[in-house]
Structure 1
């Protein structure tokens, strides 16, 4: 993603697309973290900014998952009665 989207814009994205974007954001954050560790990357602010953006994405994904109705039927098994 070229620019960071706001929370409202992230909420309007389909869950599948948001998961795909979060995966690519994870890769970017990992690359920046590695770059900072070996001294290749100097912009620590960018690392923090991208990490926060990933956290926003994951928060929206979690929010969408909690609002989604459970799929399939759940059966509750009662304990066997003793006779």
Structure 2
């Protein structure tokens, strides 16, 4: 594998007060933890090849927020913050 991409997985709307922890966790699992698992799966082969390119596709919502999308925005913001090199 030469290039890995981790596109956003989506998330359901709803007010922060009306969301159960299980619903919050599901969106974070897909959008934040899913990105981590994808990178972990391909990184060893990429390092062995001596060439690593990882593209994390996030969301413009992480810069300004989005009504009723707190869990999605939080998860995708985590992706932005987790990739520094």
TM-score (norm 1): 0.36
TM-score (norm 2): 0.36
More strand by percentage: 2
- Higher relative contact order by CA 8 Å / sep ≥ 6: 1 or 2? 2
Max Rg structure: 1
More helix by percentage: 1
